[in-house]
Amino acid sequence: MSTNSSATLMTQGSIWKKIIAFAIPLFLGNLFQQFYNTADSLIVGNFLGSSALAAVSSSGNLIFLMVGFFNGLAVGAGVVVARYFGAKKFDLVQRAIHTIITLGFFCGIALTFIGVVAAPQILVLMGTPADVLPNSVTYFRIYFCGSLAFVMYNFLVGILQAVGDSRHPLMYLIFSSITNIVLDLVLVAGFHFGVGAAALATVISQFLSALLCFLHLLKGPKEYRIYLSKLRIDTLMLKQIISNGLPAGLQNSIISLANVVVQSNINKFGQMAVAGCGSYSKIEGFAFLPITCFALALTTFISQNLGAKEYKRAKKGAVFGVVCSVVTAELVGVVIYTLAPCFISAFNSTPEVLSYGVAQARTASLFYFLLAFSHCMAGILRGAGKSTVPMFVMLVCWCIIRVTYITTAVHFIPDIRVIFWAYPLTWCLSSIVFLIYFLRSDWLHGLEKQGN
């Protein structure tokens, strides 16, 4: 291992220290990313009004629908790299990372074309309010002109996280977050250029962070350094990446599709409901940070340790990560429940917007521990190469049951609070299924047996 490496082998040393040391920079990095995502809504809501805020908010679920599939592929790619890195098979690490980067480039180009062309049709199908639609289309199309940066950033960060380096992504996100906020203030607050300028600020910032990650890997330790001459698709590695990443990508897309249906039902309640629920979604994004960070840390920890055949260590790390994530998520939920009016009013103080946002926050926030448990279970299983299990669990609970519940319940009870309850109810169902699987499956028993 190169002496100047920022990578971390998670197969040795204190379990809790390794997981926490990896998760903290990951958390801070995602925190800054959430800051610059939220900056769009804060600045747009305060300087351009509730209609513009609704336009930005209505695009959120649709954006994740388009990007989520490729993010899932990046997670699967990271599992492949982490497994080989934990086993110290650095020749295979090299083959994997060059395949990942080449694949990411083509995925980014494809997503740009799909996003720009499909934007108006999908937003109309979602029932986006007519007075919001023009701004939504503008925001969406400009945002997806930066698809190559978004996809490449996720693939590059996936490589760094797979080798245990969460420090450099943090540094690059801090820089790009500051850039995004400055551009938002100048273009939107200063010159009042509209929602398109907010999307442009995000695109420029994302290109910067992707470029910094790429340059770092060009000069990084030889074990996972990028060599331009080696950029090509390796068929064996591509199969492994697809095998691990496709279920995660499909899971993201399916969940996002369900959320698009949820958003379509929210849209029926009008512009103020869209703005209020969009404001809450930004606050919820902060609550998800510790959840997603522990889930990603567990994926890397489990992958590396299974690659090194450290089975008992993998199981102990899984238990520790789940407990930390669940406790942290619930503490954050209590804070959001208590301070929801203050948080929502930061985006827009219109009484009706505030009412919708607070109602959703106080319906979901006390159930974040269920969301944390489900995500951690999914992260553990992905790290173990069993990514089809969380895909099917979340397909059934977070898509089929959620959509069926909303479609049926809203028909008989036309109250937006019925929609809000869809999330905690389906989080509860997925948590029960994961718990049963984790306690009874041969996979857990297999770890104990191999570790003896």
What is the chain's mean pLDDT, rounded? 85
Cα–Cα dist 308/87, whole Å: 5
24: exposed, middle or buried (Cβ count in 10 Å: 0-12, 13-18, 19+): middle
Which pLDDT tens digit goes with each residue over 373-419? 999 999 999 888 888 889 899 889 988 999 999 989 988 888 899 99
Largest Cα span, the chain: 66
- pLDDT-derived band at 95, boundaries 50, 70, 90: very high
Asked whether 337 and 362 are in contact (CB, 8 A), the reply is yes
User: Tokens 């690490």, residue?
Assistant: 93
Asked whether 81 and 93 are in contact (CB, 8 A), the reply is yes
The pLDDT assigned to 442 comes to 60
Asked whether 418 and 266 are in contact (CB, 8 A), the reply is no
Which pLDDT tens digit goes with each residue over 424-435? 999 999 999 999
Task: Determine the residue type at 57.
Answer: S
The pLDDT assigned to 216 comes to 93
Cα–Cα dist 184/200, whole Å: 9
User: Tokens 């801070």, residue?
Assistant: 28
Q: At 321, which helix (H) or strand (E)?
A: helix 311-345
- pLDDT exceeds 90 at position 109: yes
Task: Report, as an integer, the average pLDDT of 71-87.
Answer: 86
- How many residues in the chain? 452
- pLDDT exceeds 90 at position 28: no
- pLDDT-derived band at 165, boundaries 50, 70, 90: confident
Cα–Cα dist 26/33, whole Å: 11
- pLDDT exceeds 80 at position 146: yes
Give CA torsion, residues 389, 364, 74, 313, to 10 deg.
-60
The pLDDT assigned to 103 comes to 93
Asked whether 265 and 406 are in contact (CB, 8 A), the reply is yes
- pLDDT-derived band at 350, boundaries 50, 70, 90: confident
Which pLDDT tens digit goes with each residue over 181-200? 899 889 888 887 888 888 89
The pLDDT assigned to 5 comes to 53
Of 210-214, 262-266, 267-271, 280-284, the range with the highest mean pLDDT is 210-214
* Cβ atoms within 10 Å, residue 447: 19
Task: Determine the residue type at 66.
Answer: M
Task: Report, as an integer, the average pLDDT of 318-329.
Answer: 93
Q: CA of 182: how far to CAs of 40, 198, 212, in Å?
A: 11, 11, 19
**Cβ contacts of residue 83 below 8 Å, gap of 6+?**
303, 304, 306, 307, 385
User: Which pair of structure tokens corresponds to residue 10?
Assistant: 């998670």
Backbone torsion region of residue 446, taken as left when φ is above 0, otherwise alpha when ψ lies between -120 and 50, otherwise beta: alpha
User: Which pair of structure tokens corresponds to residue 25?
Assistant: 């920079």
**Alpha helix locations (H) across 163-310?**
167-184, 195-218, 235-267, 271-307
Cα–Cα dist 282/218, whole Å: 34
Give CA torsion, residues 129, 133, 139, 144, to 10 deg.
100
**HSE of 33, CA atoms in CB hemisphere, 13 A:** 25
Cα–Cα dist 387/308, whole Å: 19
Least confident range of 104-108, 144-148, 439-443: 439-443
User: Which pair of structure tokens corresponds to residue 76?
Assistant: 């699967």
407: exposed, middle or buried (Cβ count in 10 Å: 0-12, 13-18, 19+): exposed
Task: Report, as an integer, the average pLDDT of 284-307.
Answer: 87
User: Which pair of structure tokens corresponds to residue 264?
Assistant: 């379509």
The pLDDT assigned to 1 comes to 47
- pLDDT exceeds 60 at position 443: no
Asked whether 91 and 227 are in contact (CB, 8 A), the reply is no
Least confident range of 5-14, 152-161, 187-196, 346-355: 5-14
- pLDDT-derived band at 288, boundaries 50, 70, 90: confident
**HSE of 421, CA atoms in CB hemisphere, 13 A:** 11
Nearest Cα neighbor of 285 from 74, 24, 42 is 42
- pLDDT exceeds 70 at position 346: yes
Which pLDDT tens digit goes with each residue over 204-260? 988 999 999 999 999 988 889 999 999 999 998 999 988 888 888 887 777 777 877
- pLDDT-derived band at 447, boundaries 50, 70, 90: very low
- pLDDT exceeds 90 at position 134: no
Task: Report, as an integer, the average pLDDT of 22-43.
Answer: 75
- pLDDT-derived band at 58, boundaries 50, 70, 90: low
Least confident range of 236-245, 331-340, 436-445: 436-445
